Amino acid sequence: MDGIIINELSLSGQFHDSQDFWRNGMPPFYKALQDARSFGVGYLFKQGSFYGAQATPDKTLHDLLTAPEARIIDEAKRYKSTLARAICNPFWDDAPQQDLNAHYLADEADVSGSSVAEATVRAVCLLSFIRSLYEKHPVVVTKDGV
C-alpha cells in the first residue's frame, strides 16, 4: 500500500459542534493515521478542496482549525497539527488516476471525481470519518456498472 486517501465525502456536517468533532471525530481518525504510519504508510493523499469539507452544520475543517476554541479545547490542541497536515499536499486531484469519463457508484451514490473513486485505482487505503455512510468496511465501488 502506497498511502492513505482521506475521504472528503465522509464529512457532511455530522458533528454537532466543534467540541463534538474534536472529542469524538478526531480520536479515531488520529488513531487510524498513527496505525498506518507504524506500518510504514507514507503518503496522505486528499482532494485539494478537503479543507472546505463540512465537519459541523456551520463549520468547515478550515474553520475548525482557525477558530478561537481550537486554542482552548484540549483535544483540539492535541489533534490540530494532525489535521493541519491532512489539508496540505499531496493532493491526488493534481494528477488523478481515476478514469474521468467513467461513472463510479458506491451504494448507488455517484462518487465520480471523489476520493472514494480515486482510491479504487490506487494502492491506497480509504480513510473515512465516523458517523458517515463510508464508515463500514469494505466500501464497495463499481465502475460503469461493473
Residue 77 banded pLDDT, cuts 50, 70, 90: confident
Burial, 12: exposed, middle or buried (Cβ in 10 Å; 0-12, 13-18, 19+)?
A: middle
Statement: residue 1 has pLDDT above 90: no
How does pLDDT run across 15-24, given as a tens digit for each residue? 999 999 999 9
Q: Among positive and negative, which fits the CA dihedral 14, 125, 86, 111? A: negative
Note the helical H segments in 1-145.
18-20, 26-38, 61-66, 74-86, 115-119
In single-letter form, the type of residue at position 75 comes to E
How does pLDDT run across 100-132, given as a tens digit for each residue? 999 999 989 999 999 999 999 998 999 999 999
What's this model's pTM, rounded to 2 decimal places?
Answer: 0.92
> If you average pLDDT over every residue of the chain, what do you get?
93
Structure-model confidence comparison of residues 47 and 69, the more confident one: 47
What's the rounded Cα separation, in Å, for the pair 14 and 61?
A: 12
